[in-house]
Amino acid sequence: MAAVDWQNLVQGIPSLLSGLLINLEILFGLIALGFAVGIMIALVQVYSPRPFAALAVGYEWFFRGVPEMVLLMLIYFGLRQFQVRITPFIAAVIALGLRSSAYQSQIFRGAIQAVGRRQMMAALSVGMTRLQAIRHVILPQALRLSIPPWSNEFSSVLKDTTLASAIGVIEVFKKARFIMGRNYALALPIFMVVALFFLFLTYVGNWALGALERRYRIPGFEAKGAGERF
């Protein structure tokens, strides 16, 4: 095995980090989009009349069924076909975000159903509208229940951000390949560095979500056990 060219490796790291920043930007964009759309889809599936609920189910089926890579191409090149010019970055956020919204909607739907109809009925019984009940009673509970499954989705979409390279976004994976292209001896160490970056981010993300879960844990529930509720 050739000796590692430490100097070139170290020189490449700032470039990798600037690439990683792009991954983080995609990550925040896609999570925000996926969260907002995911909650709406879940609410439509649970609470709206059948035709709308069926549409939402169709939406979920589509975005969970089509491979990510194909979605990226469809959004990026597809929109160009209609003279909508968007940057690869935006296309990646949209494609990965919509895909994530389908997965997130499943998480939220399960959580909303776990909260149960009785909470809705109690809220309605004091005179709240359905929207008020959703806002003040259902979602605060459902979002708490969503945190553990949601952290899986977080880890998954974090890794997916590297797929944006396929439509030309210069993110960390692409940068690593540039560096490797200049010096093949760096292939192994450079991708190990990239792997470490992601392991670190996964760790930090899950730690933060764990802290969030503890912060919003409902007192009294730990003792009685979640099983009792359902």
Interface contacts to another protein, rule CB under 8 A: 118-119, 121-129, 132, 136-137, 140-141, 144, 218-221, 223-224, 229
CA distance linking residue 131 with residue 119, whole number of Å: 13
Q: How far is the CB of 145 from another protein (least distance, A)?
A: 10
How is residue 166 written in tokens? Answer: 């396929």
Q: How far is the CB of 48 from another protein (least distance, A)?
A: 17
Q: How far is the CB of 222 from another protein (least distance, A)?
A: 9
Through-space distance between the first and last CA atoms of the chain, rounded to whole angstroms? 57
Our CB check for another protein shows the closer of 50 and 85 to be 50
3-state SS string for 26-91: HHHHHHHHHHHHHHHHHHHHHHCCHHHHHHHHHHHHHHHHCCHHHHHHHHHHHHHHCCCCCCHHHH
Our CB check for another protein shows the closer of 144 and 177 to be 144
Q: How far is the CB of 126 from another protein (least distance, A)?
A: 4
Q: Is the dihedral of CA 106, 66, 86, 24 positive or negative?
A: positive
- Is there a contact between 46 and 113 (Cβ–Cβ < 8 Å)? yes
Our CB check for another protein shows the closer of 140 and 148 to be 140
Our CB check for another protein shows the closer of 2 and 218 to be 218
Q: How far is the CB of 214 from another protein (least distance, A)?
A: 15
Our CB check for another protein shows the closer of 92 and 145 to be 145
Q: How far is the CB of 130 from another protein (least distance, A)?
A: 10
- Is there a contact between 45 and 57 (Cβ–Cβ < 8 Å)? yes
Our CB check for another protein shows the closer of 76 and 150 to be 150
In 3D, which of 62, 90, 65, 64 has the Cα closest to residue 76? 90
